[in-house]
Homo-oligomer: A and B are copies of this chain.
């Protein structure tokens, strides 16, 4: 059985290898895990010895099959609990991440699976991220940042790139919620800000915001 710390390392390595490259380096990990590089090196050696990842000195790290499977299990729990908190306990989507950071480490497959069932086997968490199923399979959804869409193109808002508190609060404040249709009206040359339309209502958003909104375009 793995410690909370070991689980967090695996989860973060998985996240980083998904988003950036295949091989993850020490300082990026240290930064994400709010720790220092010597601690990372030490942990990588330990996880390598446990055959959860391949680690080569100075070359970075890559999860192997078992490590990936454990990481997906933790992500599954994290997202199921977030869904529970929002759907059943009426939390806002910007409040659930920190609590799920604790709940994701509860060890009981039976609990996870029953929670899954209780929630109706959801495939997306409150932020639009896919929930791995019991076997660790993830439904891959084709999502484009709003910023990459063209003028007069329309799509459905299906997820956020950043789940930062402030960003989620901004979206709530402007009634931008998952599932709503967004159409690009115009793009400002000067600062790349966009004029968009939601429910016949037009307003402006910054480039930064547009890059963090994931859209589904038909």
Residues of A within 8 A of B (CB): 85, 88-91, 95, 98-99, 102-103, 106-108, 110-111, 114-115, 118
Contacts and interface: CB of A to CB of B under 8 A. Distances in A.
Contact of A111 (B99, B106, B111, B118): B99
Oligomeric state, in copies: 2
Contacts of A95: 110
A89 B115 contact: yes
A91 B114 contact: yes
Nearest to A96: B111
Q: Is the interface of A mostly helix, strand, loop or mixed?
A: helix
A137 to B, nearest CB: 23
A107 B91 CA distance: 16
Contact of A89 (B85, B102, B107, B118): B118
Nearest to A91: B114
B91 A99 contact: no
Contact of A85 (B99, B107, B111): B111
B99 A108 contact: yes
A179 B85 CA distance: 31
A98 B90 CA distance: 27
A106 B110 CA distance: 19
Contacts of A91: 110, 114
A139 B118 CA distance: 30
Contacts of A89: 111, 114-115, 118
